[in-house]
Structure 1
């Protein structure tokens, strides 16, 4: 389909903002998916193209974090595999399970995340958390979130960060960094399915990929400079935006 140069420039700018936000707190899809819908793409093509450009954002962030040694491949490899497998299963399952019933659960989860981070203090070690074993977290929780991303998607990065803070007692910045390769794994697996079914508009996706790469670069550099208290506030703000979106669309 024909898309004007002005619209492509708008999508490029939107993807920079989304890539920066997604790297820092998640929720970049709140910007990119509605922006793609504005072009007149069908919902399925918008979803497929969104996964394409999202892969570059999370992929760039993952590469930069690995290069800066902020995350270690030997530590995240099993998590990466678990997230990939969960997303593949979710993408297949979505063909048979109603997304409407799943969408009813998401606002409840968002409210729980908002409530937790309102009480969470990055500078205090006495926050409420559950110390789950590494194997249980890797092979139960991570595939579960990956399954959700394959089926539905919005907020996956925030869910990975939240789970790591709550269940593994990770620091918020470290949990946010770890979420990037996991979100990259789930994006790639879903993208492969969308490509298989011809649901990617490549010229639009390529323009947004460039913007996502720029945004991810900005996000990685800001992530380790920002005050954790401000990062906590951003997480709450993004979750509130997602919650408002669900309420408005219901």
Structure 2
């Protein structure tokens, strides 16, 4: 049985708030919370499961906040969200059966490419652009692939959803962020349901961090809705680059 002091609980709650703020805008909140949980001495499987508990709160809050501002139609997006949830559950269920080493080697390169894309590609703003893939095809290809990854490994899933919405669905940056949070919530929830069986999450800690995530996500979504691409793009570049550097550091 893991016992955490009040001070550690408060520090982890602060990490949850910061993660909720960053994740609601650009993704990458797990870059803060998962290392914090593991530094607290929680075993990796339990840390992953607990991280999904608190992550669901933040993603749900951001998704609802964006939807309330008319940036995403929940009624038309329930099918992609359901697909993301199922894919996330499958990914989480297969964590202990599939090798992750090769994926970890490729992931930093992909994240650096995402950071460079949003940093240097001209014309990325909040205006929609040419749609390259039909909604049904997008829901049956990009959504389950990223949802599976979110449950299976996780880091950078929000960035992958973002770039898919921008490059394939033709969404503007703010609209892509709003839809990313909905799918992020779904794949997080699916993964959590699977982790409940195999990971034994620390529910009290996850709920405390989740409550802090709600505050951070509400603030982040409000700022992103007002400022749009001018806030989202630099934060997305920074979080993708930081996550890539962290993964490279782990391999050294």
Structure 1 length-normalised TM: 0.94
Deviations 1:43-96 (A, max 9, x none): 111111000000010011122223333211122112101211221222233332
Q: How does 1:198-213 map to 2 (within 5 A)?
A: 198-213=199-214
In 2: Cα distance, 1:233 partner to 1:190 partner: 29
Root-mean-square deviation (Å): 1.8
What's the secondary structure of 2:247's corresponding residue? helix
Q: How does 1:130-141 map to 2 (within 5 A)?
A: 131-141=132-142
What's the secondary structure of 1:235's corresponding residue? helix
1:122–1:229 contact (8 Å) kept in structure 2: no
What's the secondary structure of 2:200's corresponding residue? coil
Structure 2 unaligned residues grouped into runs of 5+ = none
Structure 1 unaligned residues grouped into runs of 5+ = none
What's 1:35 paired with? 36
In 2: Cα distance, 1:105 partner to 1:58 partner: 26
Q: How does 1:138-177 map to 2 (within 5 A)?
A: 138-177=139-178
Structure 2 length-normalised TM: 0.93
Q: CA deviation at 1:126?
A: 11
What's 1:189 paired with? 190
Q: 1:62 to 1:242 in 2, by over 3 A?
A: same
In 1: Cα distance, 2:228 partner to 2:198 partner: 43
1:15–1:208 contact (8 Å) kept in structure 2: yes
In 1: Cα distance, 2:199 partner to 2:241 partner: 34
Q: How does 1:29-108 map to 2 (within 5 A)?
A: 29-108=30-109
2:27–2:158 contact (8 Å) kept in structure 1: yes
Aligned match for 1:122, one of 106, 112, 124: 124
In 1: Cα distance, 2:6 partner to 2:171 partner: 44
